[in-house]
């Protein structure tokens, strides 16, 4: 079992590393410069791919948190913590790359009148609180509180997506590349597909590694408890 796990982890790491390399090659060497935005449009590939990967991680948080609240399973709680933490890291990448793109496109780091940016910032703050709570909170209470916060955070994901859908086209500042039929050149799609595959694999790998860390932490706590008991007796 342990041998299979090691082989699986090496295989996934190799696949993730290879996909990241190929995606970078496509983004910087194959894709032509976009006509309006120029070279900075290349931020789009890892920005959107990171967003999709963080939404996938938050979907895992949602399912694992509900499972924990229903069954009080330690595994579900550990998975929820792992996916929440990795999702938060990817969310930070999305926010940072989006701000850098905004600085180039709009000449400002952040636009408070843009609902998608504000709702995404709220999502980032929810998962910042989730990560802080799970790492520094009272261990006897954080599992339940963290699960509820995780569910609330995951529910915010569709809100981020639809936040600009009700605005008139003229008021939408956030680019909607795919919805508006952008990415005409086939190489744009290849680079985008590879970036999504790379970030999704990396996300799955990081969640799995972080889950193993959680299991290891529980083992250390159990060992400490059993040591205490044996000294007590």
Q: Which residues bind other proteins (CB under 8 A)?
A: 39-40, 42-43, 46-47, 50, 86, 89, 92-93, 96-97, 100-101, 103-104, 202, 206, 209-210, 212-213, 216-217, 219-220, 223-224, 226-227, 230-231
Minimum distance between the CB of residue 96 and other proteins, rounded to whole angstroms? 5
Question: Residue 182 or residue 224: which is nearer to other proteins going by CB?
Answer: 224
C-alpha to C-alpha distances, 123 to 41, 61, 82, 120, 127, nearest whole angstrom: 24, 13, 17, 5, 6
> What 3-state class would DSSP assign to 185?
coil
Question: Residue 105 or residue 159: which is nearer to other proteins going by CB?
Answer: 105
Question: Residue 46 or residue 68: which is nearer to other proteins going by CB?
Answer: 46
Minimum distance between the CB of residue 70 and other proteins, rounded to whole angstroms? 29
Enclosing H/E stretch for 93: helix 74-105
> What 3-state class would DSSP assign to 65?
helix
Question: Residue 50 or residue 156: which is nearer to other proteins going by CB?
Answer: 50
Minimum distance between the CB of residue 113 and other proteins, rounded to whole angstroms? 22
Minimum distance between the CB of residue 158 and other proteins, rounded to whole angstroms? 25
Measured over the CA atoms of residue 93, residue 99, residue 100 and residue 105, the dihedral's sign is positive
Q: Are 86 and 203 in contact (CB under 8 A)?
A: yes
Nearest to 74 by CA among 204, 222, 205: 222
DSSP states of 111-153 as a string? -TT-HHHHHHHHHHHHHHHHHHHHHHS-TTTHHHHHHHHHHHH
Question: Residue 151 or residue 191: which is nearer to other proteins going by CB?
Answer: 191
Minimum distance between the CB of residue 213 and other proteins, rounded to whole angstroms? 6
């Amino acid at each position: 079992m342990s041998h299979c796990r090691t082989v699986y982890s090496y295989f996934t790491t190799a696949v993730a590393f290879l996909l990241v390399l190929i995606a970078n090659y496509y983004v910087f060497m194959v894709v032509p410069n976009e006509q309006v935005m120029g070279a900075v449009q290349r931020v789009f590939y890892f920005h959107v791919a990171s967003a999709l990967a963080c939404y996938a991680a938050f979907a895992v948080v949602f399912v694992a948190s509900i499972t924990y609240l229903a069954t009080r399973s330690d595994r579900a709680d550990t998975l929820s913590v792992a996916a929440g933490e990795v999702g938060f890291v990817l969310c930070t990448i999305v926010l940072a790359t989006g701000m850098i793109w905004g600085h180039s496109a709009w000449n400002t780091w952040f636009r408070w009148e843009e609902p998608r940016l504000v709702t995404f910032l709220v999502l980032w703050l929810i998962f910042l609180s989730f990560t802080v709570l799970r790492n520094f909170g009272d261990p006897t209470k954080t599992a339940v509180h963290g699960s509820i916060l995780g569910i609330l955070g995951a529910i915010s994901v569709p809100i981020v997506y639809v936040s600009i859908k009700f605005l008139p086209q003229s008021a939408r500042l956030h680019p909607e590349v795919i919805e508006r039929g952008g990415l005409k050149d086939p190489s744009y799609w290849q680079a985008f597909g590879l970036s999504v595959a790379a970030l999704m694999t990396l996300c799955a790998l990081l969640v799995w590694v972080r889950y193993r860390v959680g299991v290891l932490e529980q083992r250390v706590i159990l060992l400490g408890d059993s040591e205490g008991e044996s000294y007590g007796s």
